[in-house]
């Protein structure tokens, strides 16, 4: 992946453009309706009661998110699978999933399904944003990590049928459909939520929803309380926005957020405000802060990785501002440049890379280098 100074400026400009489009799409247009069969706002999510066990009862017949047993990768094995854990990782950004797109950042169920099936066929295995940020992308050797992220906790992301299975055209429903069709496609994703996760108003319904997801390997984390434009707020208001979500998630039984996504991808002037803070008796500290675009992220093991501003890719085609900056373009680019893509070695204790990339690994990770 290219990394010259002029490109960096272009990327930042593209990110600003993505932010502008998101502002228009989310602030001006009305909220899209939930997919057919999804519960209305304030209506209880059907399904099992919340539980802290790994598999709530009754358990729908759904694929597991468990990772394969770890292996020990030798230099020769890493060469055979063409491992490159200094490569680029696509982190895809989704918003509403609607039958009729009302904004450029909306996607239809068919578009999401098509993109996820493409990822599965091409050898990508989903990991959560938390797993990416902490460097625990322990997927099978020779496979490529991809991070599926969904902003705003929209009703189209998650809802359950009366039998406890995900509604077909929600994000979770589509992810499981693809996982059934392609068994190597791990059914996990990250949902960054606001004050009403998945459009639910009653706390008992919110609790049931997030517990269902977290118990199955999905990540539910912080996207601010009311989705404001953070650069427009004073520091104390930014801290309150983040802490209030942490307080809610704690009540719902979710572990403290290790990641957060900036509303509209807009970074406050003082970055440290969104990295850690305390409001009243609630504190937060994130290991990864995510932007809104506009290229694959560098590996968390390399020197250029900035956990305070992690790049994402908007899920979209190649029209308008997406001609070079959205998922269809970048997935094609990575396919044409496989040497630039993160390829796993299957070994959580080693960072396998071609020998020429030794100098790219962060100093605190060099003891793990397995070069070939």
Q: What is the CATH number of the domain that holds 227?
A: 3.20.20.370
Looking at the chain, the whole-number percentage of residues with pLDDT higher than 70 is 84
Residue 345 lies in a domain: yes
Query: Would residue 158 count as lying in a domain?
Result: yes
Instruction: Say how many domains are in the chain.
Output: 1
- Please give the Cα distance from 225 to 209 (Å, whole number): 18
Asked if the structure places residue 34 within a domain, the reply is no
Return the pLDDT at 60. 64
How does residue 1 score in pLDDT terms, banded at 50, 70 and 90?
low
What would the pLDDT profile of 221-268 be if each residue is shown by its tens digit? 999 999 999 999 999 999 999 999 999 999 999 999 999 999 999 999
Look at 55-64, 172-181, 342-351, 353-362 and tell me which has the smallest mean pLDDT.
Answer: 55-64
What is the DSSP annotation of 73-130?
Answer: --HHHHHHTT-BTTSBB-EEEE--B-SS-SSTT-B-HHHHHHHHHHHHHTTEEEE-HH
What pLDDT is stored for residue 59 in this prediction?
56
Provide the mean pLDDT of the chain: 88
**pLDDT at residue 293, rounded to an integer:** 83
Closest CA to 273 of 306, 315, 231: 231
Hunting for tokens 């990250």 — which residue is that?
190
Residue 35 lies in a domain: no
Identify the H or E element spanning 313: strand 313-314
For residue 24, pLDDT over 80 is answered with: no
- Supply the pLDDT for residue 50: 34
User: Is the predicted pLDDT of residue 58 greater than 60, yes or no?
Assistant: no
What is the per-residue pLDDT for 61?
Answer: 83
Structural domain includes residue 40: no
In a domain, 38, yes or no: no
Is residue 318 situated within a structural domain? yes
Q: How far is CA 77 from CA 69, 331, 339, 353, in A?
A: 16, 26, 17, 11
Q: Is residue 39 part of a domain?
A: no
Q: Enter the pTM of the model.
A: 0.88
- pLDDT tops 70 at residue 45: no
| Domain interval for residue 297 | 5-29+45-51+59-371
Tens digit of each residue's pLDDT (9 = 90 or more) over 116-152:
999 999 999 999 999 999 999 999 999 999 999 999 9
């Amino acid at each position: 992946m290219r990394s010259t100074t002029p490109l960096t400026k272009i990327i930042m400009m593209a990110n600003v453009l993505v932010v502008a489009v998101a502002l228009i799409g989310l602030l001006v247009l009305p909220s899209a309706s939930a997919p057919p069969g999804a519960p209305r706002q304030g209506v209880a999510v059907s399904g099992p009661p919340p539980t802290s066990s790994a598999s709530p009862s009754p358990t729908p017949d759904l694929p597991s998110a468990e990772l394969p047993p770890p292996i020990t990768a030798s230099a020769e094995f890493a060469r055979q699978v063409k491992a490159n854990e200094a490569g680029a990782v696509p982190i895809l950004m989704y918003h509403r999933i609607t039958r009729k797109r009302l904004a450029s950042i909306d996607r239809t169920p068919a578009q999401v399904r098509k993109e996820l099936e493409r990822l599965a066929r091409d050898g990508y295995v989903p990991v959560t944003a938390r797993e990416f940020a902490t460097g625990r992308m322990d997927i099978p050797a020779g496979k490529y990590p991809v991070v599926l992220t969904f902003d705003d906790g929209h009703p189209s992301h998650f809802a359950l049928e009366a039998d406890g299975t995900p509604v077909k055209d929600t994000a979770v429903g589509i992810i499981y459909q693809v996982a059934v069709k392609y068994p190597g496609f791990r059914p996990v994703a990250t949902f960054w939520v606001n004050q009403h996760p998945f459009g639910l108003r009653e706390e008992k319904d919110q609790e049931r929803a997030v517990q269902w997801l977290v118990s199955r390997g999905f990540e539910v984390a912080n996207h601010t309380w009311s989705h404001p434009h953070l650069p427009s707020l004073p520091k104390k208001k930014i801290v309150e926005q983040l802490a209030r979500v942490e307080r809610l998630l704690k009540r719902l039984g979710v572990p403290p957020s290790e990641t957060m996504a900036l509303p509209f991808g807009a970074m406050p002037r003082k970055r440290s405000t969104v990295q850690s803070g305390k409001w009243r008796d609630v504190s937060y500290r994130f290991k990864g802060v995510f932007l809104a675009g506009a290229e694959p992220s560098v590996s968390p093991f390399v020197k250029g990785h900035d956990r305070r501003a992690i790049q994402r890719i908007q899920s979209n085609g190649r029209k308008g501002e997406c001609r070079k900056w959205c998922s269809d373009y970048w997935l094609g680019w990575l396919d044409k440049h496989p040497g630039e893509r993160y390829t796993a070695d299957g070994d959580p204790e080693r960072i396998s890379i071609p020998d020429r990339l030794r100098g790219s690994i962060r100093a605190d990770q060099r003891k793990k280098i397995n070069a070939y």
